[in-house]
Amino acid sequence: MVEPRILVELGTHSGVSYCSFCEAINELRLPTRSFAVDTWRGDTHTQAYGDEIFKELSAHHDDHYAGFSQLVRSTFDGALPRFEHGTIDLLHIDGYHTYEAVKHDFVQWLPKMSDRGIVLFHDIAVRDKPTFEVWRLWEELKIEYPHFEFFHSHGLGVLAVGALIPAPLINLVRASKGEAERIRHYFAGLGQMLERVQSLEWGLRTTQCPAIPNEKRSWSIRIADGFSKRFRKIMKKV
For the stretch 92-110, pLDDT in tens is 999 888 999 999 999 999 9
CA distance 170 to 10: 25
Torsion, CA 18, CA 21, CA 23, CA 24, rounded to 10: 170
Q: Residue 67: what are its φ and ψ, rounded to 5°?
A: -70, -25
Q: Is the pLDDT of residue 208 over 60?
A: no
Residues 14-66: pLDDT tens digits?
898 999 999 999 989 999 999 999 999 877 666 667 788 899 999 999 999 99
* Residues with Cβ within 8 Å of residue 116, at least 6 apart in sequence: 89, 162, 164, 165, 166
What pLDDT score was predicted for residue 50?
77
Report the interhelical angle of 177-206 vs 219-235 (nearest 10°): 140
Residues 110-150: pLDDT tens digits?
999 999 999 999 999 888 888 889 999 999 999 999 999 99
Question: Residue by residue, what is the 3-state secondary structure of 70-90?
Answer: EEEECCHHHHHHHCCCCCEEE
- Residues of the chain with pLDDT > 90, as a percent, come to 61
* Cα 19–Cα 198–Cα 182 angle in degrees, nearest 5: 80
The burial class, CB within 10 Å (0-12 / 13-18 / 19+), for 122 is buried
CA distance 78 to 94: 16
Q: What is the average pLDDT value for the chain, to the nearest integer? A: 85
* Cα 29–Cα 34–Cα 35 angle in degrees, nearest 5: 165
For the chain, which domains are there?
6-235 (3.40.50.150)
What pLDDT score was predicted for residue 46?
65
The structure's pTM equals: 0.82
